[in-house]
Chains A and B, each alone.
Chain A
Amino acid sequence: MAVTALATPARPRLFAGPLVPRLVAGLAVAAAWEEAVKLFMPDYVATPIGILAAFPHVIVSAPFLAALAQTMAAVAEGVLIAVVLGTVLGLVIGRSLLAERALLYYVNAFYAMPILVMLPLFSLWFGYTSAARLATIVFSAIFSIILNVADGARSMPKDYLETARSFRSGRFRELFEVVLPAAMPYFLAGLRLASGRALIGAVVAEFFTAIGGLGYFILFNSRTFHHNEAFVAVLFLAGFGVGADALVTWGTRRCLPWYRRDEKAE
């Protein structure tokens, strides 16, 4: 089942196009937001000016930096685990019909499952600790990598393998030196999905278990009526999504220049 291979159209470039209408619209939305809060909402509610005012002192404050470091370290660790395990499983599922028939159903079911329902179970199994967060991140990230790598390994041109075979390449080397590089664009598309999902996994785990990190930073500040401060962290989360996307696109262009990712990604 090709969850990942459904054709999505080319992504438009983010900042191509006219600047003036964008600036005007942005300012208009910000002004409307500012006024609406002043008129209808209590004064602790976040406003654009409040967020701008809070931004400089929040991003250098110790609690924020600690939270940022904790969440980013956990996401990096979780994604790394998911990449290693997910690539191996994806290669096996993509190249072995038996493995595909036995395991693909599980992978698809877990991929479709909302991560949130696993939170209570992870907190039961790992306690209210950073291990529960790590488990949530790995669980969020791994299945899109498995599915994409399996997709890439399956749709590899036959000629590659035949060439490798004629040079008497062994099974193991074949998998890691022929199939894996051929599946690379798919892997990168999977990684892009996985990094976004991993960040959401980290935030919801922090909401659920109240362990330190950006998610908890948002929760704590919004509960203590520091909405402007909390919103700075939301901006970082949004920026992470856009940034991870740009990073993977750049990586694809840089390392796989022959591949036009618009055709297959996602």
Chain B
Amino acid sequence: MKTRILPQLVAASVACLLAGAVNAAGVLAPDDDEDDLVPNGKGWGERAYPTHPNGNGNGQAGKGNPSGANGISYHGGPLILGTTNVYYIWYGNWTGNSATTILTDLATNLGGSGYFNINTTYYNGSNTHVSNSVHYAGSTTDNYSQGKALSDGQIQSVVASAISSSRVSKDTNAVYFVLTSADVTATSGFCTQYCGWHTHGTISGSDIKYAFIGNPDRCPSACEAQTTGPNGNAGADGMASIISHELEEAVTDPDLNAWYDRRGMENADKCAWTFGTTYQANGAMANVRLGSRDYLIQRNWVNASGGFCSTTY
């Protein structure tokens, strides 16, 4: 009898250990007795809307699995699939600032990298995965058309103006980044609550995904990981990490109803301000090399193997 029961007990113990390991890795999986939180745009999660526009009363869309085994859950919304196009709108005064080349190089070299490949672990309701393909599609400038203290609405106006005036193409498979110079602030919490954000809106009749990226030189202690950057421009180097953060969130949760955990955290939120193994580059810390440049970019959440933060996949 011993020879028959022992293997079963051992198997049961192993099952428990494995289950424990999965739980440890994916500690943010929703509890059964708790609805998911959804971000409210103010920096924290709230209970899902009583009547979600695309789903049931729990704020969960009609399809998708809200209980993610990897610590993050799919809520039924669309993702950006295929090649993701990136547009920059340089707002304010960027004359003579090396940020324009540092950040353009970033957008040019993110696609195909091990870093962006992390996003291929995310998929939609048809099991179509995000592609490791990013195309830098162009840029434009905006000479303070909305002043130096921008509301959320004014930031959307900056994007709308760039599209409606054909300074950039209208592209629903893109993320438009409004990059502000150091003399510009955003009045809804830049430097005190956030360093950047992403959202979507109807612009020229289409669902346009866009992001705000403030210049961390306004508040180094809040939005820069280090006072010197690997590319010799602390503000631009700080923005590189924030752009990466918002891009991976915009791709996996473009309409704010796809991938996030029970606390409302999207993939990059779960690894914010963590960098993993670093090395020295030009007197600063770096952790990723893209093209010919080194960057210090925060890690992203891998939606596999229980879930974990990484700089590559």
- Bound together: no
